[in-house]
Structure 1
Amino acid sequence: MSLDREASIIEKMIQYLETVLEQPHPVFGGLPICPFSKKARLQNKIFYKVIALAMDQLQAGSELRQAIASFHESKQHDVLVVISPDHDALTVEQVQAFVEQLNDRIAPMRLTAFGGHPQDPFNVQGVFTRQEPFINLTIQSMTILQAASEQLARTSYYQHWSAENLRQVGFHNRSAVAIERQMGD
């Protein structure tokens, strides 16, 4: 793939961040869909990598696994966004299965991954939060993610989320309890 094509793909993802995920929305208590994205983007804390995603990328030594290891070791970035250039490489269900298997492999590094797909049905009150322009993975430190979740739990961010929404994003810890308490108030 040419460098121009890679740059174009990354630019489309950044435009999506700016025009969709970083915009305040009433469903999220007036906060952006992704409240920490803009700061991370402006501070160059997001590392973007274009990799054709397929099940073989789960194997040790693959381009994806090497990118994750480099991200983990560098400590220069807080987020790794892996973008697959092929819109049809994986179905929504395959992305979900891919993420589950990847999380099993990267958990020892205290990292976690989330998937996005142009047709992902996940939504909060009708706001689709994962329908990015490309199939992608967002990889972050569990420590940073947990701190961010706990910070958001003290706001009105989750006020419109259902218990099923919370389960779908993996809230099985103290943050979920705090959020569910807040929703009950």
Structure 2
Amino acid sequence: MAAGAGREKADAIRRLGARVVTADGGVAARDQLARRLAADTGALLVHSSDDERVIAGQGTVALEILEEAPDLDLLFVPVGGGGLLAGCCLAAGLAVRPVRVIGVEPQEASRYAVSLAAGNPVELPASRTVADGLRGQRPGEITFPIVRGRVDELIAVGDDEILRAMELLHRAGLPAEPSGS
């Protein structure tokens, strides 16, 4: 995990029996450490977002939503590493009627908006945001072309907006962490 990730997440992972290893330097440092640990131990590394299997699995979220709400015409998707957004973009393309996909990034970690404007993946410095699951620094090599070709819009929201959304969800009986809010 990137150092600075929520303590609750690390504790939950430990309760499930896993060993937590942290990396200073943000998400990019975490990914580099994960690759090294996998090479050193022979473990299979499945990237949290930049992996075809993960993208396909995360796209099932949109498929289930579209199954439940076939008249849906707008889908807002939180953007971290981009796997969920890429999967949702692909799934929305299978919808019977057009569905606009809007990616939502923290203002402090808007690497997809910056990268789309540049025309290629751009690495941002490590950032701080209450949405610690969305602190990706660079779009993935697999996710970026999918998102570039299919996302309809990206919007950036500040931490205050994220916390307000989380509060509204909690009031509605839908507990959510900042990254999903």
- TM-score interval, smaller chain: under 0.3
Give me the TM-score of the superposition, normalised by structure 2.
Answer: 0.27
In terms of fraction of residues, the more strand-rich structure is: 1
Give me the TM-score of the superposition, normalised by structure 1.
Answer: 0.26
